[in-house]
Amino acid sequence: MKKYFLGKPIKTMTSKLKKYFALLFLGLFLIGCVQSVENPYSGGTTPADNKPVINILYPVSGDSIFMGYTSIIYQATDYKGGPGLSLYNLFVDGVLVQSFPQNADGSNPFLFFSTDTLEKKLGIIPSSWPAELSFAMTIVNEDGDFGETTLIDSIYVSRRPVAPSNLALTRISDKSFNLFWDDKASNETKYEVWRQDGSNNTFLRIKDLPINTISTNDLVNSDYINYGYKVRAANGFGYSAFSNIVYSSGVPGGDAPTNLKGEALGASTIQLSWDDNSDTEDGFVLERTNLATGVFERLAVLPKNTLEYFDYDLYPLTTYKFRVASFKSSSISAYSNIVTISTYGVDISAPDNLIATFNPIDKKVNVTWNDNTFFEEGTILERKETINGEYSIIGTTITDVNYFSDGNILENQIYYYRAKFKTTEGFNTTYSNVDTAYVYDAPPISPSNLQITKFTDTTYSLWWNDNSDDEEGFEIWRKAGSTGTYYLYQELLSNTTGYNDKVTSGVVYYYKVRAFRNPTYSIFTNEVSTESIGGKFPSPTNMSFSIVNSTQVKINWTNNSSDALQIIVERKLQTEVDFSEITRVAPGTTTWTDDSAVLAKNMTIYYRLKAKYAQGESEYSSELIVYIP
């Protein structure tokens, strides 16, 4: 027949395990021969005899256990390369009183003293408990190897009841409240409810309640007074400590936060998140159980609208419990659900140096980061849209890919980005730094390759390449004579790629074109004139580029002349107003690499070309825009 503990099956001890327990009984009588096990978290090496190890943190000599349940706080691990832990055995005064199997998911179980079990196993008469006890524990792995603690003596037994906990107040009406708490005691004879009528008055006992009571209602005289409540248990041996205090005021403390969730991000960090259900809270109170006592204690007071918290500097392979409540200046909400989270055995480095940059050409936010570990199995990218917003996952990458492009964006919006690794150890790392990217209203891409053809002495045709898919239209700018001033001449509809112009014979006209989308404008095309008809000095055309690396850009073009002397290359950086010449290359050349020291990541660069002839120079080519991600 299978045996069960807390609803879980316990493996029947093999004869091999019984031999080990017999050895432990002998060891308890010969206590001077029992050696303390090495602390597996102290940085020492694995024990030479390949034994699992367990350390008791609470209770230790001089501590007390209480009627009902008392948690055993401990650290335990198998030896390096071992098969894994299987069973924990609790011996009190030399008697095996309880066995605890390893959790099905491999995590360490919750260990505790049960005074009901001790009474049965040790034959203790409930009215005649001993003043103190001694105990020891063994730990067994899947191969039957076991380790043991030293005998821990002078464990005192408190006959007073355990204090109630998690007292919560809910408003029923303007003048009535419900109180609810956790009954932690097993030997109380009554509960006492105490009330404070106004913050300047003392607490007075207002009612006694029967054993095992966990809730009561209270009717008050005023809906303006701030009432405080606390509860304690009592029996013939004395009183428990009071529960936490809860307050009520003329306005409620806000709806309780809900859906508290937690995730261990390695050995030392737990991430917590919850839903904020109140519009009027002043903040949140986050609580965590004390490892020694199991009682909730204040961990942090957080600003209003907070939705997550990271608890750092935790112990590895240790289980923690959390809860959260909202508060106002004079009241606190009910608590959220309680989450129980166990940390892992190791930490793994998170992504770092995360950088988010908006690329106005591609109209995407490009996110990059550094990968500092061999244990990542991909990256999880998260984004939020306001400083108080909630992060959500926007994408993932595979192993060793350290960039991501976010195209699901809106103009005039700031986005916040962070990342964490999925790991080979089965958990996620902590997060990278947070970086922001502002998506501004980028102008449309400039038209290019403006050309001109003569129909008659007074009629010319202009045409160009439309490189944008979001312009509202195009502007043609014209001037008369080389020393004239450009002015807006014509405004054309979107997707237009040509225009016929009537001019005055004998006057040289100059033209350039740009796209617009209110309130932004692209840069202008190359310049053409009625004097350059027929290709007197042909310009280079069909400029293109490729990114060699973050400090090198290769540009290409079509050479349209057989008698040019040189090709002149000019460049303008994103911080500069005017183009400047940076090199001249031989005639017939159709490619050149810019490896200037000024080039860097996240930079936009503009290039243009013209051909040098014996009798003069060509018009400029179209401008080429290059973005180095």
Please state the rounded mean pLDDT for residues 387-402. 92
Q: Which of 400, 413, 301, 289 is nearest to 339 (CA)?
A: 289
The pLDDT tens digits of the residues spanning 252-284 come to 445 789 999 999 999 999 999 999 988 878 788
Rounded CA gap, 510 and 531, in Å? Answer: 8
Q: Which fold has domain 3-158?
A: Immunoglobulin-like (2.60.40)
Residue 8 has pLDDT above 60, yes or no: no
Please give the CATH architecture assigned to the domain spanning 352-439.
Sandwich (2.60)
Arithmetic mean of pLDDT over the chain? 86
Least confident of 150-164, 310-324, 414-428, 534-548: 534-548
Return the bridge partners of 261, or none.
273
Rounded CA gap, 136 and 141, in Å? Answer: 17
Return the bridge partners of 404, or none.
367
Rounded CA gap, 266 and 390, in Å? Answer: 22
The pLDDT tens digits of the residues spanning 162-214 come to 899 989 887 777 688 888 888 888 888 999 999 998 877 899 999 999 998 98
The rounded Cα 454 to chain-centroid distance in angstroms is 64
Rounded CA gap, 237 and 246, in Å? Answer: 27
Please state the rounded mean pLDDT for residues 89-97. 95
Rounded CA gap, 450 and 512, in Å? Answer: 7
Residues 6+ apart with CB under 8 A from 74: 54, 55, 56, 57, 108, 111, 137
The pLDDT tens digits of the residues spanning 554-611 come to 999 999 888 888 999 999 998 888 899 999 999 889 999 999 989 988 889 999 998 8
Q: Residue 159 — φ and ψ, nearest 5°?
A: -85, -10
Whole-number pLDDT of residue 615: 61
The pLDDT tens digits of the residues spanning 315-373 come to 999 999 999 988 775 566 778 899 999 999 999 999 999 999 998 888 899 999 999 89
Please give the CATH architecture assigned to the domain spanning 538-629.
Sandwich (2.60)
CATH 2.60.40.10 residue ranges in the chain? 3-158, 165-248, 258-342, 352-439, 443-534, 538-629
The pLDDT tens digits of the residues spanning 34-74 come to 333 333 333 344 444 689 999 999 999 999 888 878 899 99
Whole-number pLDDT of residue 536: 55
SS3 143: coil
Do 266 and 429 form a contact (C-beta atoms < 8 A)?
Answer: yes
Question: Please, what's the b/e burial string for 343-369 (b: 16 or more CB within 10 A of its CB; e: otherwise)?
Answer: bbeebbbbbeebbbbbbbeeebbbbbb
Write the DSSP symbol of residue 577: S
Residue 92 has pLDDT above 60, yes or no: yes
Do 271 and 310 form a contact (C-beta atoms < 8 A)?
Answer: yes
Whole-number pLDDT of residue 187: 84
Please state the rounded mean pLDDT for residues 68-97. 93
Q: Residue 27 — φ and ψ, nearest 5°?
A: -65, -35
What size, in residues, is the chain? 629
Identify the CATH assignment for 258-342 out of 3.40.50.300, 2.60.40.10, 3.40.50.720, 3.30.70.1880: 2.60.40.10
State which amino acid sits at residue 246. Answer: V
Q: Pick the residue with more confidence: 32 or 25?
A: 25
Q: Band the pLDDT of 494: cuts 50, 70, 90.
A: very high
The dotted CATH code for 165-248 is 2.60.40.10
Homologous superfamily of domain range 443-534? Immunoglobulins (2.60.40.10)
Helix (H) or strand (E) holding 218: strand 215-219
Whole-number pLDDT of residue 131: 87
- What is the C-alpha R_g of the chain? 39
